[in-house]
A and B are shown apart, each in its own frame.
Chain A
Amino acid sequence: MSAPINIASLFRKTKDIFSFHGGVHPPENKAQSTCLPIGSLELPEKLVLPLRQHIGTIPKVKVAVGDHVLKGQLIAEAEGSVSAAIHAPTSGAIKSIDNAIIPHPSGLPDQCVTIIPDGKDTWIERSRQDWRNGDVNTLIASLRLSGIVGLGGATFPTQVKLRKNGKSEIQTLVINAAECEPYITCDDMLMRERNEQIVLGIQVAQRLLGAANVIVGIEDNKPEAIEAMRLATANTDIQIKVVPTLYPSGDGRRLIQLVLGKEVPHDKRATQVGIQVFNVATVVALYRYFEFGEPSLSRIVSMTGNVAQPQNFEVLFGTPLMHLVNAAGGAKPDTTHYIMGGPMMGFNLPSTDVPITKAANCIIAASPTLFAPQPPAMPCIRCARCAGACPVSLQPQELYWFAKADNFEKAQDYNLFDCIECGACSYVCPSNIPLVQYYRYAKSEIIALDKAKEAANLARERNEFRLARIEREKEERAAKHAARAQGAKTAKGEENKTAPTTDKQAAIAAAIERAKAQKAAGNNPPKNTTDISDRTKAEIEAIEKRRAKAGITDDMPRTIDADKQAKIDAAIARAKAQKAAASKDDTTTTASTTKQPVADAEKQAKIDAAIKRAKTLKAATAKPPTSDVNNKPVADAEKQAKIDAAIARAKAQKEAALKAKDKQVKED
């Protein structure tokens, strides 16, 4: 190896490359798409940008239909802690913001922004950032506007991976250039043609992470790329490690095992043991963002399979699939459908109308000759070839039984969620059992059941709370009634007119006091921890622990459904508006409603309209008001309590959402 001596090499064990259990070696089929250099495409007639192009929250749209946007202009901004922005890949007009089919195995439509290019490709103003000397935290924070996600296919927002949480220091940066899936060659071509940019990108990532060592892992079936990378890293401390071609060496944990001999514990992320993995294309995107101010607008896509001339192309996000297919000479007549990703882990594209997204590393035109239909599945004969091929050392034959029988508990006992769905087990199964399908099915069922269970628990608690409240109110009423009766007895005659009023006034005053106190304590949101069951307490504690582990603090922006946030905002705003209206009507003024954050103008307008409507309705309706006017402040206080409770609940939900996300999020 030509790498110069560095600190890492002093500690290096005698073994340079390690190995993992199992793995398979499918035919590579990479040569077809590496004959030609990376090509570029003409501007397509339209660009369809799905908002869901990454793992995490859907970003918030910042443009409106009819707007003219410039190349690189922000179209949707990251929302919540795990999210990524989306930018206009070229200049043009926003044609629509609505549902369209996205490249997703579900084949379901989702929110997309459609841009009609104006053909000028006018850039927005770009600025360089000094990534060599600039403040690391500022640089990382600015990445929130970059839209960069892991380009290896996992599409985890890169900013989140770089964000410091004071928890773990990254010692080693592993650059994933293994590209183990057959057919895919986008990273190979990137390394051959843009090795200098990769090295600069690695230096960017290294600076941001503060990693001492950098190791680039490349499979030995890419000699040209290895040569190019060796050339470019000659005078750096970046190590190139050539790993044997064995699928799935490109899986993050497998690659770490290969190049470092370290097994990342199943319940930890690589970052927790001081290792960060970046795809080779991701670091180039990082470099281009800081050096040229270019957000993530395009990627290299391998267009291969049953097309006239397979080739890699630099493709703008949102480019229609057929535009890319035609650039590769068009599909051959016997093409049946298109696969996104490789033949081991990819999925059928639901339509030819889908756009290229950040996750699209490869498009394969499929034909019956390329991918022969499999004979029907036979019963499992327990030959355990799958267990021999499993890179995680699972027992796929056992998991298959459990998944098939919906025995989810047992499936989890056998570590179903450690399965990386690489497909090696299905690949070697003599009985042609679609094993991975069973695991995907079981996993999504388990996740859905867990969610349903959580929802049921929440509903139970809320119901119990409500019943308790009704009970309490009944008691209070009874007590009041008794007091009034008592007062009537003692006061007699004329005094019994005033007594209840003062009573009521006192109650109102007390309620206002309570509301004020609550509001004053507003920074410290009520956690409803006083009268909850031990189990719930334990759950909350567990959640807190998890949050602490994940490095989430209360002042961090929480991941929350845009939808949900909007609803909560609306509810708060409405409640506020109602209160304002109520206090206007009332003789007793509460004068404490201005402290809350101002809802955005649009919502305010809506609320105003609603109030107006409500007022007209009130005027028009012959119905007598259902509640006593005098009781209003009390009702208000109660409502405030309800709102507070709702906020607390929303928080709890946010945490639940975070938890669910935690489960799904995997390293790039």
Chain B
Amino acid sequence: MLTALYIMLGLALLLGAALGYAALKFKVEGDPLIERIDAILPQTQCGQCGYPGCKPYATAIANGEADINQCPPGGDEGVRALADLLGVEYKPLNEEHGQTKPKAVAFIEEDLCIGCTLCIQACPVDAILGAAKHMHTVVASECTGCELCVAPCPVDCITMEPIEETPDNWKWKYPTIPIKPVINLK
């Protein structure tokens, strides 16, 4: 009886020591949590989450101040990725913060632009070029589609243009729905 106890005790100590050693020896130097959350966020910097940008939102999530379902551009997949990372339950996107829209870029109607620079100041990623009193233009490839420039424009010359599907960005579809050949013979 006593021998058994000793053996168990000895085993427990031994394994405990081994585990402790392994924890020190093989410690994974991980990214800080904020960085890892930030890596999932789409970097739209749109502020729809209620924070001034993706990094502040990531910080808020890491500190437990914000929920994971406040990022419409990240969409359902983003929420899932966050839930996965943080080991919490998935929850649908909070509608209060907006809905997921197809990706779009800002477009400035250059004939209307009065060159007020308000949009330039609003752009979180410096994707709008231009100078005071001269028309501005959006570098489409840098635009994150955050829509922050739309509201400040005094002449409403900024519109959000959805990104069109072209043979360049076209993707093969998931092969479940059989695609009927679109054809008009004769």
Q: 15 new A-B pairs (CB below 8 Å) besides A444-B172, A574-B134? A: A351-B183, A448-B169, A452-B42, A455-B144, A456-B42, A456-B43, A459-B43, A459-B45, A463-B125, A466-B126, A567-B137, A614-B133, A614-B134, A621-B114, A649-B142
Q: Do B170 and A106 touch across chains, with their CB atoms under 8 A apart?
A: yes
Task: Give the complex CA separation of A501 and B178 in angstroms.
Answer: 73
Residue from B129, B137, B172 within 8 A of A441 (CB atoms): B172
> Looking at chain B, what size class is its interface with the partner chain?
35 or more
**B26 contacts chain A at the CB level, 8 A cutoff:** no
Cβ contacts under 8 Å, A452 to chain B:
42
Cβ contacts under 8 Å, B133 to chain A:
614, 617-618, 625
Q: Do A441 and B184 touch across chains, with their CB atoms under 8 A apart?
A: no
**B11 contacts chain A at the CB level, 8 A cutoff:** no
Interface centre among B132, B166, B169 (most CB of A within 10 A): B132
Cβ contacts under 8 Å, A570 to chain B:
137
Q: Do B137 and A465 touch across chains, with their CB atoms under 8 A apart?
A: no
Q: Do A463 and B53 touch across chains, with their CB atoms under 8 A apart?
A: yes
Within residues 111 to 131 of chain B, which ones have a CB less than 8 A from any CB in chain A? 111, 114-118, 124-127, 129-131
**A211 contacts chain B at the CB level, 8 A cutoff:** no
B184 to chain A, nearest CB (A): 7
Q: Do A653 and B132 touch across chains, with their CB atoms under 8 A apart?
A: no
Cβ contacts under 8 Å, A582 to chain B:
131
Task: Give the complex CA separation of A579 and B173 in angstroms.
Answer: 48
Residue from A349, A457, A618, A653 within 8 A of B43 (CB atoms): A457
Which residues from chain B sit less than 8 Å from chain A, CB to CB?
Answer: 38, 41-45, 53-55, 110-111, 114-118, 124-127, 129-135, 137, 139-142, 144, 165-167, 169-175, 181-185
Q: Do A575 and B175 touch across chains, with their CB atoms under 8 A apart?
A: no
Cβ contacts under 8 Å, B165 to chain A:
106, 108
Q: Do A459 and B44 touch across chains, with their CB atoms under 8 A apart?
A: yes
Cβ contacts under 8 Å, A459 to chain B:
43-45, 125, 142, 144
Between A and B, how many residue pairs show CB distances below 8 Å? 148
Residue from B38, B114, B140, B166 within 8 A of A110 (CB atoms): B166
Q: Do A434 and B175 touch across chains, with their CB atoms under 8 A apart?
A: yes
Q: Do A108 and B170 touch across chains, with their CB atoms under 8 A apart?
A: yes
Task: Give the complex CA separation of A611 and B115 in angstroms.
Answer: 11
Q: Return 14 A-B CB contacts under 8 Å, by A number.
A: A108-B167, A337-B183, A337-B185, A348-B181, A444-B170, A448-B171, A456-B43, A462-B126, A463-B53, A571-B129, A571-B137, A617-B115, A621-B114, A625-B132
Within residues 344 to 392 of chain A, which ones have a CB less than 8 A from any CB in chain B? 348-352
Q: Do B114 and A623 touch across chains, with their CB atoms under 8 A apart?
A: yes
Q: Do B134 and A611 touch across chains, with their CB atoms under 8 A apart?
A: yes
B148 to chain A, nearest CB (A): 11
Q: Do A106 and B167 touch across chains, with their CB atoms under 8 A apart?
A: yes
Q: Do B116 and A642 touch across chains, with their CB atoms under 8 A apart?
A: no
**A102 contacts chain B at the CB level, 8 A cutoff:** yes
Task: Give the complex CA separation of A466 and B126 in angstroms.
Answer: 7
Given A108-B165, A574-B134, answer yes or no on A336-B110 (Cβ-Cβ < 8 Å).
Answer: no
Cβ contacts under 8 Å, A636 to chain B:
131
B129 to chain A, nearest CB (A): 5
**A335 contacts chain B at the CB level, 8 A cutoff:** yes
Residue from A618, A627, A653 within 8 A of B141 (CB atoms): A653
> Looking at chain A, what size class is its interface with the partner chain?
35 or more
Cβ contacts under 8 Å, B142 to chain A:
458-459, 462, 649
B180 to chain A, nearest CB (A): 10
Within residues 633 to 658 of chain A, which ones have a CB less than 8 A from any CB in chain B? 635-636, 639, 642-643, 645-646, 649, 653
Interface centre among B127, B165, B182 (most CB of A within 10 A): B182
Q: Do B139 and A437 touch across chains, with their CB atoms under 8 A apart?
A: no
Cβ contacts under 8 Å, B115 to chain A:
614, 617
Q: Do A441 and B111 touch across chains, with their CB atoms under 8 A apart?
A: no
The closest CB in chain A to the CB of B175 belongs to A437
Q: Do A626 and B116 touch across chains, with their CB atoms under 8 A apart?
A: yes
Residue from B127, B132, B171 within 8 A of A635 (CB atoms): B132
> Ordered nearest first, which 9 A-B pairs have the shortest CB separation?
A437-B175, A106-B170, A459-B43, A440-B172, A456-B43, A444-B171, A462-B125, A578-B131, A337-B181
**A120 contacts chain B at the CB level, 8 A cutoff:** no
Cβ contacts under 8 Å, A456 to chain B:
41-43
Residue from B45, B140, B185 within 8 A of A463 (CB atoms): B45
Q: Do B183 and A617 touch across chains, with their CB atoms under 8 A apart?
A: no
Q: Render A527-564 as a binary contact track against B, CB cut-off 8 A, 1 for contact.
A: 00000000000000000000000000000000000001
Cβ contacts under 8 Å, B45 to chain A:
459, 463
Within residues 606 to 633 of chain A, which ones have a CB less than 8 A from any CB in chain B? 610-611, 613-614, 617-618, 621, 623, 625-627
A107 to chain B, nearest CB (A): 6
**A18 contacts chain B at the CB level, 8 A cutoff:** no
Residue from B117, B124, B140, B170 within 8 A of A466 (CB atoms): B124
Task: Give the complex CA separation of A465 and B183 in angstroms.
Answer: 51
Residue from B41, B167, B173, B185 within 8 A of A335 (CB atoms): B185
